[in-house]
Homo-oligomer: A and B are copies of this chain.
Amino acid sequence: MVMHILILTGGDLDRVFARSYIQTQKFDKVIAADKGLFYAEQIGIRPDFILGDFDSCPRETVKKFEKENIMVLPREKDDTDTGIAMEQAVRMGADKVTVLGSTGTRLDHVLGNMGQLVYALKHGVEAYMVDSHNRIRAVDRPLCIDKNEQFGNYISLIPVGTVTGVTLHGFYYPLNDDTLLFHETWGISNELTEETGIVEMKTGTLLVVESKD
């Protein structure tokens, strides 16, 4: 059995997209971080754990959920809310984590949340950031993407620093044992040409961004 945890966090959230996306998934536990608690209320999800200083969440929402015997996690000063939520998900034995509300206008938080995908990967957890335009994961071993399960038409590979020995099968722009560097753009906006695309690498970590226009 795969244990799938949903983290709702405090970036921007397209509620219509979120409502429809969560219906395509089965979540075993829900963690709401800060304004993510407000989103939980709005999309009609009951969290199992809440955390944050809730400076960006209405006071009545916090009061309502606090009464419901939900475990409130401490917010440590040297970590972000999403970081604490991801640590908790790992601690709870998640095999898979989906983070909603992890994108938005504050690009430092968006990058920090991408860092949490890598943190999860290093703990053996398959984690995704999803919004209405993007589904993002971090990988450090071969990955298969089936066309019929793809999120949008584009697949971009962005190295966290440097990734060596990248070979692609079934993609429009080929790579063959190539090194990807963050400041090059070879990995951006690729497309599948076959039913299954395979991404292989030798060393390093890739952010895989599937996107819709």
Interface residues of A (CB under 8 A from B): 77-80, 83, 103, 105-112, 114-116, 118-119, 122, 131-134, 136, 154, 156, 158, 160-162, 173, 181-186, 188-189, 207, 209, 211, 213
Contact = CB atoms under 8 A, between A and B. Distances in A.
28 contacts: A78-B185, A78-B186, A79-B185, A83-B185, A105-B131, A105-B133, A105-B134, A106-B133, A106-B154, A107-B133, A107-B134, A108-B134, A108-B154, A108-B189, A109-B188, A114-B182, A115-B158, A115-B182, A115-B183, A115-B184, A115-B185, A116-B185, A119-B184, A122-B183, A160-B161, A161-B161, A161-B162, A161-B182
A160 B82 CA distance: 20
Contacts of A103: 107
A73 to B, nearest CB: 15
Contacts of A154: 106, 108
A185 B106 contact: no
Work out how many copies of this chain go into the complex: 2
Contacts of A114: 182
A107 to B, nearest CB: 5
Contact of A160 (B77, B106, B182, B209): B182
Given A108-B154, A108-B156, A115-B183, 5 more contacts: A80-B185, A110-B110, A111-B158, A160-B182, A161-B182
A106 B183 contact: no
Given A134-B106, A183-B122, A111 B161 contact: no
A94 B95 CA distance: 48
A181 B111 CA distance: 12
Contact of A183 (B118, B188, B189, B213): B118
9 nearest A-B residue pairs (beta carbon): A161-B161, A108-B156, A118-B183, A108-B209, A119-B183, A105-B133, A112-B188, A83-B185, A115-B183
